């Protein structure tokens, strides 16, 4: 039997169209944001420079060149951004400093997300005494200034010995910054979980006997990924700034390992005679922090369902 032919006057344009998924819609809106695209490109370049610093840097981070006169020195053919007070190439140390800053940011944010998301989900889903106990712990953490608490933890963990290996310093830095940074994510996830736990799809999952562990990981958590991604992106900027602050104060990574904060501190005595020594790490730090902040704002706008047309 042959199919009936379409009527000549049938409106083909009236067929229902399949709308794009929320993820694709958010990605499309993010690509149309020039600020988000510029920040994303900058972050990719920074990650590339950090990963391949050993190949991109013309010198080792601790190589000293004292053959061409007084120190520090302005840019020349051998040193694109000049040399610091020890004769070390500033451009090479910037690249290696990006590796330190981004590595600390990524690991610390992962620690914050694991602790904060877990506690926030449990507190928001179960409520009651569990919620009360976990939120009081969060309030206690909020009562202490983040940076001062990180300095205290660093001092306790290192026991006043700054001559330890880089790995030990990084581990204590990861722990100190990760412990003080999770309450913000926990608060966010807890509030979102409270709003979702009484929705119909959660009630249906409970009715058919789905275990709480599966409800938390397969139903609640996927619906919270948008706010979590936005918060994590903005937290990266805060961690980079916190690491630079600790290094500026002399309690970050030990010398001769490069850090943007330590480079800024070392360049302060020479800011009048060689301002590029101070400008180069300061500009790298400022651009990186702003890129993550602006990208977080763009992600929030792209993932906000109220802004969809």
**Structure confidence by residue, pLDDT tens digits, 276-309:** 888 999 999 999 999 999 998 888 887 765 555 5
**DSSP reduced 3-state for 64:** strand
| C-alpha to C-alpha distance for 72 and 82, rounded to whole angstroms | 7
Whole-model pTM: value is: 0.83
Among 267, 291, 268, 248, which Cα is nearest to 39's? 291
| In 165-234, beta strands by DSSP E | none
Instruction: Find the distance separating the first CA and the last CA of the chain, reported in whole Å.
Output: 44
Residue 15: the pLDDT is 47
Residue 307: the pLDDT is 55
Residue 16: the pLDDT is 46
CA torsion, ordered 163, 284, 83, 167, to nearest 10 deg: 20
Provide block-wise average pLDDT over 10 residues at a time, the chain (309 residues).
48 48 75 88 92 88 71 78 84 91 91 92 88 89 82 74 64 85 90 86 84 86 86 90 88 83 89 87 93 89 64
Residue 79: the pLDDT is 79
Is-contact 36 298, C-beta < 8 A? yes
> What domains does the chain contain, in order, with CATH numbers?
44-54+81-307 (1.10.3720.10)
| In the chain, beta strands by DSSP E | none
**Structure confidence by residue, pLDDT tens digits, 203-218:** 888 888 888 888 888 8
Residue 84: the pLDDT is 83
Among 201, 194, 197, 149, which Cα is nearest to 175's? 149
């Amino acid at each position: 039997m042959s199919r009936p032919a379409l009527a000549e006057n049938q409106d083909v344009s009236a067929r229902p169209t399949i709308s794009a998924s929320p993820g694709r819609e958010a990605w499309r809106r993010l690509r149309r944001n020039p600020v988000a695209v510029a920040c994303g490109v900058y972050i990719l370049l920074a990650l590339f420079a950090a990963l391949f610093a050993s190949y991109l840097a013309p010198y080792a981070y601790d190589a000293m060149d004292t053959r061409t006169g007084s120190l520090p020195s302005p840019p020349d053919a051998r040193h694109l951004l000049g040399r610091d007070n020890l004769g070390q190439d500033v451009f090479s140390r910037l690249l290696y400093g990006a590796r330190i800053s981004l590595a600390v940011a990524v690991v610390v944010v992962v620690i914050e997300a694991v602790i904060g998301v877990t506690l926030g989900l449990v507190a928001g889903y179960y409520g009651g005494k569990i919620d009360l106990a976990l939120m009081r712990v969060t309030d206690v953490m909020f009562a202490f200034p983040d940076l001062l608490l990180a300095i205290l933890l660093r001092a306790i963990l290192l026991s006043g010995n700054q001559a330890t290996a880089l790995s030990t310093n990084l581990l204590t830095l990861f722990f100190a910054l990760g412990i003080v940074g999770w309450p913000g994510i926990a608060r966010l996830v807890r509030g979102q979980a409270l709003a979702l736990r009484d929705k119909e799809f959660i009630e249906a999952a409970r009715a058919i006997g789905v275990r709480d562990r599966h409800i938390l990981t397969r139903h609640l958590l996927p619906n919270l990924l948008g706010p979590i991604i936005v918060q994590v992106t903005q937290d990266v900027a805060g961690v980079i700034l916190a690491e630079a602050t600790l290094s500026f104060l002399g309690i970050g990574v030990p010398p001769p390992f490069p850090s943007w904060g330590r480079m800024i501190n070392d360049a302060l005595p020479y800011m009048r005679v060689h301002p590029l020594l101070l400008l180069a790490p300061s500009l790298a730090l400022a651009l990186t922090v702003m890129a993550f902040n602006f990208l977080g704002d763009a992600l929030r706008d792209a993932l906000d369902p109220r802004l969809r047309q």
